[in-house]
Structure 1
Amino acid sequence: MKIDDSKNKQDLQQLIDTQQFVEHISVDCTIFGFDNGILKVLLLKYHDLDVWSLPGGFIFNDEDLSDAASRVLFERTHLSDTFLEQFHTFGQINRTANNAHQILLKHKNIEVPPDHWIFQRFITVGYCSLIDFNLAGTFPNSLNETCAWFEVNKLPKLAFDHERIIEVGLNHIRKNIDTQIVANNLLPEKFTMKDLQTVYETVLDEKYRRNNFQRKILALNILERLEKFFDGSANKAPYLYRFRRKN
């Protein structure tokens, strides 16, 4: 699916002309997906540019930061009702030195004063989430023509400091894997210990012995054991579990 170029240019012109954004602050969403034992990140490709980026955007003057993150994610990817967690603020002086916006506007023959706010220093607030790979129904818009998943260790050329944002976001996910990030987004309500172990091994990029993993998880006291799962095979039926409900 391609965007009409004249409409694309018009949308970009309106974006840079608006006075409704908070200058010098943006949000970037790092969305990780779990796909058949492989951890991936959702990226967008700029029109006419051989560079990819995280779903990100600007904040309206009358908008809360968390609301801006949810809105931007929906506008860029069509993902809605996604649990987003703020994980870091990125404020290096040269983080936007490779200004993809400037290249993009030049390609579209849109003239912008060199002192325009879109070319100046930006501090961005990172949000992250870990979701079911199959939930993302993405679509192109005026800024990006392609949405695609990439393995976290096989990233394409990225705009700005987005490679570092992904790295920091992944570390945050790994440090907080025992929280609601996994419980709310990756597994069905009932799952086996093997299902949970697969998620942990994929996210943490390490292998566990089955008994050691089960001992570790049960010690956290975050699971409730349910009935056994009978699938008709000759193998011993495993127990089903679910995460304990919060009071």
Structure 2
Amino acid sequence: MDREKQLRDFLLKGDKTYMPRVSVDCVIFGFHEDQLKVLLLRWKDGRWCLPGGFVKWDESVDDSAVRTLQERTALNNIYLQQFHTFGAPDRERGKKLKGIPDSKKSWMHDRFVSIGYYALVEFSKVNPIPDWLSDACHWWDLHKVPALIYDHNEMVEKALEKLRLSLNDHPVGYNLLQEKFTMPELQRLYETILDKRLDRRNFQKKMLSLGILERLKERKTGGAHKAPFLYRFDKKKYERAMKQGLKLGF
């Protein structure tokens, strides 16, 4: 079946497979070179958007978000949190989908309510994959995100707000850093997310008090200063802390 026919069938008959008027959108965060990144798709008409998709009739909304993330990143076991529902009356109704053959009968021209999720992934392990309506899938520095379609810029802002709030209640790092890292690298991650400087001694004291870090005998080499010790997360203790919650007070 040629691509144009696939697209036409999706526009006119997609509601046989997917629930109409309900979608998921994913804000995928990564951390690289002391920058918080977000993964974006570029539609074939040049506009940028968040990775998203539709909910199949035979799957849960959460499963739909997991499937969308796997299709865009090629990763499994992704840290994923539902953070907000977007349902303004005019968010998509009546807007022409540029780059897609127009059809007044298409179920995609109806008003959609979108359920937002944010995900934390290790940057180096992601294989960005565009969907069939896009021609590119790239990381963007969070401070340089372009104008996105619909209310997707609002989604990014809301996801970042929820991530910052979660830092006081749950540890962050296992899904964003490499397996072995230094305490300064962990601190820079927190500072980047919070967009503020943290006291070095106070930060280290708080993180070590959680009991979720294991200091290794190895040191990171290659720097100009004394090589710092490497750490890694104790996965069982980290997962316990995620369930029980914390009170860090950043």
Question: Which contiguous aligned blocks of 4+ residues in structure 1 show a shift greater than 4 angstroms?
Answer: 232-237
**Cα distance, 1:201 vs structure 2:** 1.5
Asked if 1:31 corresponds to 2:28, the answer is yes
Equivalent residue number for residue 156 of structure 1 = 146
Q: Separation in 2 of the partners of 1:152 and 1:201?
A: 14
Residue deviations 1:193-217, cap 9 Å, x none?
A: 1121121122222122321221232
Equivalent residue number for residue 14 of structure 1 = 9
Does the CA-based 8 Å contact 1:100-1:160 persist in structure 2? no
Equivalent residue number for residue 243 of structure 2 = none
Q: Separation in 1 of the partners of 2:54 and 2:155?
A: 17
- Between 1:189-198 and 1:158-167, the stretch displaced more is 189-198
Q: Separation in 1 of the partners of 2:40 and 2:191?
A: 23
Asked if 1:91 corresponds to 2:110, the answer is no
Q: Separation in 1 of the partners of 2:159 and 2:111?
A: 22
Asked if 1:68 corresponds to 2:64, the answer is yes
Does the CA-based 8 Å contact 1:8-1:142 persist in structure 2? no
Q: Separation in 1 of the partners of 2:6 and 2:73?
A: 17
Does the CA-based 8 Å contact 1:77-1:147 persist in structure 2? no
Does the CA-based 8 Å contact 1:99-1:159 persist in structure 2? no
Q: Separation in 1 of the partners of 2:153 and 2:188?
A: 25
**Structure 1 unpaired stretches of 5+:** 1-5
Please tell me the residue identity of whatever aligns with 2:41. Answer: L
Does the CA-based 8 Å contact 1:87-1:127 persist in structure 2? yes
Does the CA-based 8 Å contact 2:182-2:229 persist in structure 1? yes
Matches within 5 A, 1:46-125: 46-47=43-44, 49-96=45-92, 99=95, 101=97, 103-105=98-100, 108=101, 110-113=102-105, 116-125=106-115
Does the CA-based 8 Å contact 1:88-1:125 persist in structure 2? yes
Residue deviations 1:26-79, cap 9 Å, x none?
A: 1111101111011111110111x2311111011011111111112122334444
- Between 1:91-100 and 1:141-150, the stretch displaced more is 91-100
**Cα distance, 1:235 vs structure 2:** 4.8
Matched length = 234
Flag the 1:10–1:181 CA change in 2: closer, same or farther, 3 A. Answer: farther
Instruction: Report percent identity of matched pairs.
Output: 41
